[in-house]
Amino acid sequence: MIKLLDILNEEFLKSIIAPGLYDIGMYKNPKTITRMEPYIRGISDPKGNLFVVDDSHNLIHRDMYNLLIDDNLIKNYGKDFYLIMHGGLLIAWQRVKSTNTFKLSESYYSYDIGELSQDKDFMNDVDKVRKKNSQYKFELKKITDS
């Protein structure tokens, strides 16, 4: 059961009008995702913040990044989100079905996860998001391997 206090304590960032004219909520470090769609997308920053949108169909990670920088909610690392993500500045996550588990997004399909796990900066950022959002499990596996 969703606790009303958890919903009120999380940081709602904005409402986005998506194609089809319905609202999508964007959240920072949500206390719970149980009420959200399966396979939602998330981005974590080097501070361990997790940004998610309650939508798994209309917004991709690049769209999320652009919305976050447009509103000065995240540092602007440049225009090429995939270069930024693959450079380890931000991490793109995707929820596994309706669970509390996130795996690396489909954008990491060509990556060797063993090599990523040897990158100290990348692992430091993973540890930070795990610590700040300990109610979720962040697996170093690709969502495409689910």
**Which DSSP symbol is given to 32?**
-
pLDDT at 18: 52
Q: Which residues of the chain have pLDDT under 50?
A: 1-8, 21
pLDDT at 7: 47
What are the extents of the domains in the chain? 4-145
pLDDT at 20: 57
Q: Which amino acid, residue 12?
A: F
Note whether 16 and 33 are within 8 A (CB).
no
Interval 9-29: pLDDT, tens: 556 666 655 555 457 888 999
pLDDT at 22: 59
Note whether 126 and 138 are within 8 A (CB).
yes
Q: Residue 111: which of 138, 89, 144 has the closest Cα? A: 144
Q: Residue 88: which of 45, 59, 131, 128 has the closest Cα? A: 45
What's the pTM? 0.86
